[in-house]
């Protein structure tokens, strides 16, 4: 049976009090609507329709070609929102998921269970429900005392005192027989406290026509969280963080202190890797097997290969080869690419530069816009001088070269294979293979001159104070 999806993402989200459109607020580094779309696509949905309204251009820019879009120009309720998809889905046959774009915690496992129940029972609609101790603000699910089916869903503002006492709530996620859904949407009205067209009224229509309506009770009440303000956003973040960390630990990753470790939703980590406290992993970061990460490392959109170590360091858009060590207190900026068995030490910054296998930049150096070969040693305080105030130029250091401490390599420049650059030099011309380069004035010692300088300074100070 064909599976379809309608994601409701048209609400303004005034309670967020934000310039950022509500469904684009991130949970564990990924916008909420991105979580929802990934979830529905994981259960075999062939067409995903996102209903947009406020912030439509921003939502479409983020999701791109992963979805189709319809515009709800006026926000007249959930039923009205789903009806906007009729032009795209009205002639389809199959099962349609309807889900809100601000419910990032719903899992694909739960959706699969919901859809299997719906399809097995041949229901016109199946509602995802949850038991909640304090259901204030949620629509109540009113069941048939005889067969347990759903009689109706009543919104909070329309509940009688007896209905308000019900603790089974509507999560806002549904499965429908697609053809029956769009037929019923033509019959709903806005005769309610909000004067809106409620999608939940479809349930009553189905019941009046003798159609079956089922409910699937989620095991995890956190999946019912709909994010409408910053408090709920924080709660969703906490649940998602816990879920993500648990998933990685069950996959063989050691997390020393889960409460102080942040792992983004799209991060991948290999088995036997150890994450120490204070580790922050974001974006599309991929970490291999048997790595040691942390403590206190911040890594975003980077790739770290097997058996490498990163501690007390910041990486952004970097690639770290296998068996390589980074830190403590290193900074790898976008375009940094390290080979295998490379050492990047304390207070080293690398930007838009490749450093090949077995090379070392042990401490207090800047390597930017550079191509460094194999088995190169770059000494303490060495700098590639890549920017003249107008243009950035490239430094090339070939295999087996040695760059002494406090060397300035003024780009564009090339240091040849096996060349040796003497400490303290400022190099402005190419260095040929196996040459030794030195560029500093000859040292001259003036006997006793330091005493004369001190005496002169003291005399001036005494004169100024008299």
Q: At 414, which CATH number?
A: 2.160.10.10
Q: How far is residue 378 CA from its own chain's centroid?
A: 35
Structural domain harbouring 393: 251-437
- Residue 230 in any domain: the answer is no
The percent of residues in the chain predicted with pLDDT above 90, rounded, is 87
Q: Cα separation of 415 and 403, whole Å?
A: 9
In a domain, 371, yes or no: yes
Q: Is 337 annotated as a binding residue?
A: no
Do residue 197 and residue 319 come from a single domain?
A: no
**Any domain includes 72:** yes
Q: Is 78 annotated as a binding residue?
A: yes
Nearest to 224 by CA among 336, 110, 330, 313: 110
- Residue 297 above 90 pLDDT? yes
Mean of pLDDT values over 278-302: 98
pTM for the whole structure: 0.89
Using the predicted structure, report yes or no on whether residue 193 has a pLDDT greater than 80.
no
What's the first-to-final CA gap in the chain, in angstroms? 101
Instruction: Please check the confidence at residue 161 and state whether its pLDDT lies above 80.
Output: yes
- Annotation-wise, does 3 bind a ligand? no
Active site residues: 363
Whether residue 407 sits in one domain with residue 302: yes
Residue with tokens 């564990």: 28
> What's the mean per-residue pLDDT of the chain?
95
Question: Do 48 and 183 lie in a common domain?
Answer: yes
Confirm whether 386 is domain-assigned: yes
In a domain, 245, yes or no: no
Specify whether 123 is located in the same domain as 27: yes
What is the per-residue pLDDT for 109?
96
In a domain, 462, yes or no: no
CATH of the domain at 203: 3.90.550.10
Q: Looking at the predicted structure, is the pLDDT value of residue 275 above 80?
A: yes
Confidence at residue 169, expressed as pLDDT on a 0 to 100 scale: 94
Specify whether 161 is located in the same domain as 54. yes
Rounded CA separation 300/50 (Å): 29
Return the axis-axis angle of helices 32-41 and 56-63, rounded to nearest 10°: 50
pLDDT (tens digit per residue) in 358-414: 999 999 999 999 999 999 999 999 999 999 999 999 999 999 999 999 999 999 999
Rg of the chain on CA atoms, in Å: 32
Domains: count for the chain: 2
* Confidence at residue 442, expressed as pLDDT on a 0 to 100 scale: 85
Residue 35 lies in a domain: yes
Residue 194: per-residue pLDDT? 82
Mean pLDDT of 432-460: 92
Is 90 exceeded by the pLDDT of residue 57? Answer: yes
pLDDT tier for residue 46 given thresholds of 50, 70 and 90: very high
Average the pLDDT over 64-84 and give the result.
Answer: 95
On whether 465 is known to bind a ligand per the annotation, the reply is no
β-strand partners of 337: 319, 354
Tell me: pLDDT of 192 over 90.
Answer: no
Q: Note whether 197 and 269 are same-domain residues.
A: no
pLDDT at 145: 82
70 and 18 part of one domain: yes
Q: Give me the pLDDT at residue 48, please.
A: 97
Is 405 annotated among the ligand-binding residues? yes
Q: Which of the listed residues 184, 205, 224 is the one where a domain comes to its end?
A: 224
């Amino acid at each position: 049976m064909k599976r379809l999806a309608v994601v409701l993402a048209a609400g303004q989200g005034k309670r967020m009090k934000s310039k950022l459109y509500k469904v684009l607020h991130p949970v564990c580094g990924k916008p909420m609507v991105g979580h929802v779309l990934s979830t529905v696509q994981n259960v075999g949905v062939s067409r995903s329709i996102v209903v947009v309204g406020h912030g439509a251009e921003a939502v479409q820019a983020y999701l791109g070609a992963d979805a189709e879009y319809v515009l709800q120009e006026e926000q007249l309720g959930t039923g009205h929102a789903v009806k906007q998809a009729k032009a795209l889905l009205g002639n389809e046959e199959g099962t349609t998921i309807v889900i809100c774009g601000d419910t990032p915690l719903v899992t694909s496992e739960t959706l699969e269970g919901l859809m299997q129940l719906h399809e097995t029972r041949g229901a016109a609609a199946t509602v995802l429900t949850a038991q909640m101790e304090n259901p204030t603000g949620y629509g109540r699910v009113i069941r048939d005392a005889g067969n347990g089916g759903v009689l109706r869903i009543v919104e909070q503002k329309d509940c009688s005192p007896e209905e308000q006492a019900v603790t089974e709530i509507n999560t806002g996620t549904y499965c429908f027989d697609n053809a029956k859904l769009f037929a019923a949407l033509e019959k709903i009205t806005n005769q309610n406290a909000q004067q809106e067209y409620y999608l939940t009224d479809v349930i009553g229509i189905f019941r009046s026509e003798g159609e079956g309506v089922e409910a699937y009770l989620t095991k995890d009440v956190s999946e019912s969280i709909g994010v409408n303000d910053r408090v709920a956003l924080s709660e969703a973040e906490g649940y998602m963080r816990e879920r993500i960390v648990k998933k990685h630990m069950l996959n063989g990753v050691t997390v020393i202190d889960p409460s102080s470790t942040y792992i983004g939703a799209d991060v991948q980590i290999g088995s036997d890797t150890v994450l120490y406290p204070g580790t922050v992993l974001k974006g599309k970061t991929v970490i291999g097997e048997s790595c040691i990460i942390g403590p206190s490392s911040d890594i975003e959109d980077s790739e770290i290969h097997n058996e490498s170590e990163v501690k007390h360091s910041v990486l952004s858009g970097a690639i770290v080869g296998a068996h390589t060590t980074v830190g403590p207190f290193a900074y790898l900026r976008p375009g940094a690419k390290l080979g295998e068995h490379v050492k990047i030490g304390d207070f080293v910054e690398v930007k838009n530069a490749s450093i090949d296998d077995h090379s070392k930049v042990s401490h207090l150096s800047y390597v930017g816009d550079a191509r460094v070969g194999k088995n190169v040693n770059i000494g303490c305080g060495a700098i590639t001088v890549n920017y003249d105030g107008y243009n950035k130029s490239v430094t090339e250091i070939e295999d087996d070269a040695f760059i002494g401490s406090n060397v300035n390599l003024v780009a564009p420049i090339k240091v040849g294979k096996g060349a040796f650059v003497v400490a303290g030099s400022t190099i402005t011309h190419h260095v040929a293979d196996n040459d030794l380069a030195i560029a500093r004035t000859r040292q001259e010692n003036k006997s006793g001159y330091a005493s004369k300088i001190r005496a002169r300074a003291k005399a001036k100070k005494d004169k100024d104070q008299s």
